[in-house]
């Protein structure tokens, strides 16, 4: 696209450093950017921000237009579906003009017909007002929360930097007083059944790993808190919670590939935790409790997990009784356990399934009796908040690329689902104008990769009618006249994370301008179970990148987008994907948007002092071993930059990111500026007051999205 000459980008100085590993010399001219306290580093990041603003200045009107469009689709004053916990109904509401949610409750009994919540005349209690707590802070986030069984004491954590380093607070909900004394670096919090003993986990100062479990008793100083357990294996993180029936506290230690659980009766908080099954490499399991039995989800006989039970007194593996067998093509992602039934949360052919099993009596014998039906070809569905153990209903959340976020209540006896609330989308949204599809692209090794697609039907140029069914055969074959629609493809593909297929009202600003959006369910993610994850990590990680390229080529060949106007987006590990495809196939993309990208793979993974590095060996490999070193070096985006034409790129980071340090994208952009042979924009935007997720306020976040969309629309020729 023709553009006015760009302003002159910043020039950052080079300080040459070298590292020799396995006979390979790693040269780095920008390692000095790691010094966060160096004023020259701050000056460089601010210069890049100023340059980006200068480049985007002609689009100021479009950015404001996009912001107002997205805001028009947000019901600014709203309330979530209340959920019952004990004698209260809990909910979160938002108010127009306020950045953060207000967390509240009302007293009330069980829900009536249609899921009615608290008693109509019950007074609202404000538990936490994010707007008040955030006063004077450029960033604010609430982490974990838990309330005592009697509803009086609230434990919660807050982060005011964006570094995901949380501070523990305890609030008396009867008086509104927040107790004196705080604890830093807290992760999970859980109360015991005595309404006065709190367990919490704490991270170490180097690797941000939750490694200690502490016990606190109300009325005592935190200096008197007792260290209950410490995990010294650098791969493992601790998390504490409680079984749904409330009878046990569970502390899980988990790495990327291995886990173990310790349990303690919730009414004996001063007692000793007991081990369910000792950790064994590559064995993952999780536990819940019902009627004297542990229900254990385990991958001991297959990567996609099975379900077993064991007596409370003898939880070891030799006492396990199988309830659901392992299946090669069905992943058991979770089991939601209740007094009279359980829901097996499964994933089959890349799509979530919620399957009902009913207990015949108080024993563990259960039979599959139904499955919640979903009407669309691509969707997300998962359990909603279900705090009541003895219940005849089950709440779940559902959404798709064209259906707004919805909460349903499923009647266990009848199998009927009742809609409790669907996200209201003001501003004239008509879901019938949009269509979604799910197709498959063939990877370079022949594997079929799912792709989810959404577009506005009357803007789609894929065939003469302007509409298209889900049948792939109706899409033009390769070689036909190039379609007119710009194509925007999103990918992630790491950690076994299944790419959610959700609704976004923000996305309407692209769809209404004729952009086709696609989501590539590439290997490395968990979309087709753990084997799908295994096929895109460690020494086969490059499958993730080649899968994405194959999806883009398939989409353009089948008429879903103009091959001259293709953009890609990814964040964090998805930013690694963006860096890899930019090096492998820069000709395929008009533009790339990369959020907090993990692009300096070698330098990060060779530095065990950084947060996440050691635990991540199980995802990427340990570069101290030569085989992994050479393989990782073959795709590391920073190390493979070269003199070539690159797509227009918008690279975004945050100064206080704890997952991917700001210097990775900063170094990447600085180096790429010296190598690229094109005149396409290369922008680095750093949020100087946020962390891995960007702006914390909902209005500030929309402004960040407006920048992304304006950048894309200009590259698509739509600005």
Low-confidence ranges of the chain (pLDDT < 70): 1-4, 109-120, 463-483
pLDDT tens-digit readout, 276-319:
999 999 999 999 999 999 999 999 999 999 999 999 999 999 99
* Whole-number pLDDT of residue 465: 31
Shared domain check, 591 and 443 = yes
pLDDT tens-place string over residues 178-235? 999 999 999 999 999 999 999 999 999 888 999 999 999 999 999 999 999 999 999 9
Query: Is residue 389 included in any domain, yes or no?
Result: no
692 labelled catalytic: yes
Q: What share of the chain is helix, strand, coil (3-state, %, to 5)?
A: 20, 35, 45
* CATH classification of the domain holding 193: 2.130.10.120
Give domain status of residue 596, yes or no: yes
Residues 151 and 110 in one domain: no
Which CATH number characterizes residue 57's domain?
3.40.50.1820
Domain count, the chain: 3
537: DSSP letter: S
Asked if 21 and 629 count as a contact pair (C-beta separation under 8 A), the reply is yes
Q: Residues 573, 710: one domain?
A: yes
Identify the active-site residue in 572, 594, 658, 696.
572
Do 116 and 245 lie in one domain? The reply is no
Is 310 among the domain residues?
A: no
437 lies in some domain = yes
183 and 161, same domain (yes or no)? yes
Three-state SS annotation for 224-236: HCEEEEECCCCCC
Q: Tell whether 303 is covered by a domain.
A: no
Residues 102 and 206 in one domain: no
User: 710 by DSSP, 3-state: which?
Assistant: helix
Give pLDDT, residue 472. Answer: 31
Residue where a domain terminates, one of 249, 283, 317: 283
Q: State whether 679 and 539 are in the same domain.
A: yes
Residue 195 located in a structural domain:
yes
pLDDT score of 4 = 62
Q: Domain check: are 575 and 693 in the same one?
A: yes
Same domain for 527 and 617? yes
Supply 352's token pair. Answer: 């979530």
Q: What is the pLDDT of residue 468?
A: 39
| Domain match, 109 and 178 both | no
Residue 231 lies in a domain: yes
User: Do residues 228 and 213 lie in contact, with contact meaning Cβ atoms separated by under 8 Å?
Assistant: yes
* Of residues 78, 84, 87, the one with CA closest to residue 395: 84
Of the candidates 236, 268, 283, which is a domain's last residue? 283
CA count, 13 A, side-chain hemisphere, 89: 22
Per-position b or e across 52-65, b if 16+ CB within 10 A of its CB:
beebbeebeebbee
| Marked catalytic residue, from 452, 595, 692, 696 | 692
Whether 93 and 174 map to the same domain: the answer is no
Residue 301 lies in a domain: no
Both 486 and 620 in a single domain? Answer: yes
Q: Which of 283, 303, 324 is the last residue of a domain?
A: 283
Give the active site residue among 657, 658, 696, 708.
657
CA 525 – CA 522 distance, rounded (Å): 6
| Residues with Cβ within 8 Å of residue 654, at least 6 apart in sequence | 162, 596, 662, 686, 687, 688, 690, 691, 692, 694
- Residue 236 is predicted with a pLDDT of 97
> Containing domain of residue 82, as a range?
76-129
């Amino acid at each position: 696209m023709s553009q006015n000459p760009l302003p002159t980008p910043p020039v950052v100085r080079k300080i040459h450093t070298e590292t020799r590993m396995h006979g390979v010399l790693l040269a780095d001219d920008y390692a000095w950017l790691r010094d966060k306290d160096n004023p020259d580093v701050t000056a460089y990041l601010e210069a890049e921000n100023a340059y980006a603003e200068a480049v985007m200045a002609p689009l100021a009107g479009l950015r404001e237009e996009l912001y107002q469009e997205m805001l028009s689709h947000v019901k600014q004053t709203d309330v979530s579906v209340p959920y019952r916990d004990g004698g209260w109904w809990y909910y979160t509401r938002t108010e127009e003009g306020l950045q953060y949610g207000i967390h509240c409750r009302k007293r009330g009994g069980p829900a009536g017909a249609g899921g009615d919540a608290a008693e109509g005349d019950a007074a609202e209690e404000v538990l936490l007002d994010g707007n008040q707590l955030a006063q004077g802070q450029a960033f604010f986030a609430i982490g974990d929360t838990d309330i005592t069984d009697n509803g009086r004491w609230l434990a919660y954590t807050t982060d005011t930097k964006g570094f995901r380093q949380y501070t523990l607070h305890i609030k008396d909900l009867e008086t509104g007083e927040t107790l004196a004394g705080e604890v830093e670096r807290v992760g999970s919090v859980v109360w015991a059944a005595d309404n006065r003993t709190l367990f919490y986990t704490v991270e170490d100062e180097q690797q941000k790993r939750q490694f200690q479990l502490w016990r606190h008793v109300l009325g005592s100083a935190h200096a008197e808190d007792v260290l209950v357990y410490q995990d010294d294996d650098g791969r493992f993180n601790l998390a504490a919670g409680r079984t749904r029936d409330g009878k046990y506290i569970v502390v899980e230690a988990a790495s990327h590939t291995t886990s173990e659980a310790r349990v303690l009766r919730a009414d004996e908080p001063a007692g000793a935790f007991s081990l369910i099954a000792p950790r064994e490499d590559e064995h993952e399991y999780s536990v819940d409790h019902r009627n004297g039995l542990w229900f254990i989800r385990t991958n001991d006989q297959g990567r996609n997990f099975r379900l077993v039970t064991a007596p409370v007194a003898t939880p070891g593996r030799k006492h396990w009784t199988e309830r659901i067998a392992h299946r090669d093509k069905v992943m058991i992602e979770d089991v939601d356990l209740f007094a009279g039934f359980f829901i097996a949360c499964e994933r089959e052919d890349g799509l979530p399934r919620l399957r009902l099993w009913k207990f015949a009596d108080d024993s563990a014998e259960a039979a599959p009796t139904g499955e919640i039906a979903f009407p669309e070809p691509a969707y997300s569905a998962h359990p909603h908040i279900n705090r009541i153990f003895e219940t005849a209903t089950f709440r779940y959340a559902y959404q798709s690329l064209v259906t707004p976020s919805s909460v349903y209540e499923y009647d266990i006896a009848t199998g009927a689902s009742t809609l409790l609330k669907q996200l209201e989308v003001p501003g004239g949204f008509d879901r019938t104008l949009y269509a979604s599809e799910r197709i498959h692209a063939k990877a370079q090794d022949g594997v079929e990769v799912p792709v989810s697609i959404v577009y506005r039907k009357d803007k789609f140029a894929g065939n003469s009618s302007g509409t298209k069914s889900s049948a792939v055969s109706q899409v033009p074959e390769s070689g036909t006249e190039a379609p007119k629609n710009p194509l925007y493809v999103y990918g992630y593909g790491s950690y076994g994370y299944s790419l959610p297929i959700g609704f976004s009202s923000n996305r309407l600003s692209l769809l209404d301008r004729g952009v086709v959006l696609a989501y590539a369910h590439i290997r490395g993610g968990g979309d087709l179970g753990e084997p799908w994850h295994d096929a895109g990590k460690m020494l086969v990680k490059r499958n993730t990148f080649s899968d994405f390229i194959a999806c883009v080529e398939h989409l353009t060949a089948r008429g879903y987008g103009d091959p001259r106007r293709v953009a890609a987006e990814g964040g964090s590990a998805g930013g690694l994907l963006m860096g890899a495809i930019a090096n492998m196939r820069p000709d395929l993309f008009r533009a790339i948007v990369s959020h907090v990208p993990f692009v300096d793979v070698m330098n990060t993974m060779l530095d065990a002092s950084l947060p996440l590095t050691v635990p991540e060996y199980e995802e990427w490999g340990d570069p101290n071993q030569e085989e992994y070193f050479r393989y990782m070096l073959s795709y590391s985006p920073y190390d493979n930059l070269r003199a070539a034409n690159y797509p227009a790129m918008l690279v975004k980071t945050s100064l206080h990111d704890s997952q991917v340090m700001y210097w990775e994208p900063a170094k990447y952009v600085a180096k790429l500026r010296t190598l690229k042979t094109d005149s396409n924009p290369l922008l680095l935007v750093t949020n100087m007051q946020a962390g891995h997720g960007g702006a914390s306020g909902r209005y500030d976040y929309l402004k960040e999205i407006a920048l992304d969309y304006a950048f894309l629309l200009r590259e698509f020729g739509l600005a």
